[in-house]
Amino acid sequence: MSAARALLSRDFKLAIRAGGGVGLAAGFFAASAALIPLGVGADLPLLGRIAGGVLWVCATLAALLSLDRLFQADYEDGSLEILSFSDASLEAIAFVKLAVHWLTTALPLVVLTPVLAVLFNLPAAGYVPLLLSLLLGTPALSALGSIGAALTLSVRRGGLVLALIVLPLISPAIIFGAASVLLVLEGSGYGAFFWLAAFSVVTVALSPFAAAAALRLHLGS
């Protein structure tokens, strides 16, 4: 457990110091979201209706940008193999990696979302559901992304393959997330949030085991 805590502290500090992945994801998120109103036009009711779905898709694509480096740097410099012999299991290492990705990449996107929602004329009643849906759903993106990153660890230009693996898997979170915002705006309540939360809990609980199994294939252990 102490090894896992040390790894969490180390990876978090490295991510903050590097900063490039966070800035790139936030910049892509803002740019891609800002382009949608330009393409759709000044139909404010339509923009308000599609805001949840569009911001969910943009956040997902932005978070994908840094997923291919989740294990890559440690794999290339041999740190991952050394970590595999430490007190921390590969499952714990995978969980730490996905936690750091969520804290340093997905969470900043959630914080940025209210600013971008203004561009879509999102009704005031939709801000809390949108933020809640992203807080509940983005952990699933980091979790499923850790599986894709582990599977494509030794694949050249694995980012493209990783996206093809992760996008179909994360589609339930996008569906539930976008639908939950729309249902609240239509007065149907918060029922969809249960399914979104359940999806995240299941993926976060199971993904470290799947990612660890993929890592063992690459490490030969």
| DSSP codes of every residue in 160-204 | HHHHHHHHHHHHHHHHHHHHHHHHHHTT--SHHHHHHHHHHHHHH
- The answer for 23, left when phi > 0, alpha when psi is -120 to 50, beta otherwise, is alpha
Nearest of 112, 175, 111 to residue 140 by alpha carbon: 175
pLDDT band of 18, cuts 50, 70, 90: low
Q: Give the pLDDT mean for 162-173.
A: 88
Please give the pLDDT value at position 46: 80
CA distances from 112 to 33, 93, 107, 131, 150 (A): 11, 28, 9, 10, 28
Confidence at residue 89, expressed as pLDDT on a 0 to 100 scale: 84
Predicted confidence band at 210 (pLDDT cuts at 50, 70, 90)? very high
pLDDT at 34 over 90: no
Tell me what the mean pLDDT of segment 79-107 comes to.
84
| pLDDT above 90 for 88 | no
Average pLDDT over residues 76-93: 79
Q: What mean pLDDT value characterizes the chain?
A: 84
pLDDT band per the 50, 70, 90 thresholds, residue 133: very high
Closest CA to 70 of 24, 25, 101: 101
* Domain spans of the chain, in order of start: 2-219
